[in-house]
Amino acid sequence: MTVSLEIVEDPARGCAALMVGAAIAQGDIVLTGGSTPRAAYRYFVEAVDSVGVDLRQTTFWVGDERCVDPDDDRSNYKMIKESLLDPLGDRAPRFERMKGELGPEAGAADYERALREAGGPAFDLLLLGIGSDGHCASLFPGQATLNERERLVVGVPQAGLEPFVPRISLTLPALASAGRIVFLATGTSKADAVSRAFGPDAEPDPQTPSSLLVPEAASISVLIDDDAASQLHFTGEPQ
């Protein structure tokens, strides 16, 4: 298992490049919600335009969803549709949408069925953001969902961070099953969580759910800017 911390000026560009690589390899890509990935999705569309990547053998999945209608401004699907699927148009690959409108339990069961019917999970590249509380997908600090080891998808009755709506989320084993996980984080608001999850003194801790992936995942790349890296102190540096 390897964790590579990559402090770069524009993490979204690096994320888009990894998406292009996975798409060229005709792999399955798990998209993340939130706001940070918008830029990465835009760069990906630009790359598909310039390189002419054939996406017909790729499937897009998603790591989590808010239990709202798909046209609600809080919907991850709405963000993905606007920044990725609509710009790709008829070149867009198959996208397995999490149906947030079904509610947490029915929505989770629906997505688990879709995953298993597709023979999954067989994720080649899995994108994640990290919350300022250290959550990833919709796995929040101290919640029982962190202990789920059998199911691939769970309902989350209460979100631990805004938007405070019920959620649907892939579980830790489903996330960890990916060939490669890419965390994307920018800004000082993520610096503490990045340090607690991936820093030199980090330990797996249910209070920082992202840290729980470190011992389980095959490969984690953490793409961060200087601000998100600002609380990472390696030995020999002034504390």
Interacting residues with ligand 6PG (CB under 6 A): 32-36, 63-64, 76, 129-131, 135-138
Beta strand 64-66 pairing with 167-170: antiparallel
Find the shortest distance in angstroms from Cβ 87 to ligand 6PG.
19
Residue closer to ligand 6PG (CB basis): 91 or 103: 103
Smallest separation, CB 64 to ligand 6PG (Å):
5
Q: Which of 239, 237, 228 has its CA nearest to residue 9?
A: 228
Report, in Å, the least distance between residue 138 CB and ligand 6PG: 6
Alpha-helix runs per DSSP H in 100-158? 104-117
| Smallest gap from residue 144 Cβ to ligand 6PG (A) | 18
CB-nearest residue to ligand 6PG: 129
Q: Which is nearer to ligand 6PG, 53 or 165 (CB)?
A: 165
DSSP alpha helices (H): ranges in the chain?
11-24, 37-51, 76-80, 86-88, 104-117, 172-176, 191-198
Of residues 135 and 180, the one with the C-beta less far from ligand 6PG: 135
Alpha helices for 52-157 (secondary structure H): 76-80, 86-88, 104-117
Nearer to ligand 6PG, 34 or 104 (CB): 34
How many residues make up the chain in this entry? 239
Q: Shortest Cβ distance from residue 78 to ligand 6PG (Å)?
A: 12
Closer by beta carbon to ligand 6PG, 47 or else 130:
130
Nearer to ligand 6PG, 53 or 83 (CB): 83
Residue with tokens 């890509």: 29
Least distance from ligand 6PG to the Cβ atom of residue 190, Å? 7
The upper half-sphere exposure of residue 179, i.e. CA atoms within 13 Å in the direction of its Cβ, equals: 13
The helix-helix angle for 11-24 and 37-51 (nearest 10°) equals 50
Q: What is the DSSP letter of 136?
A: B
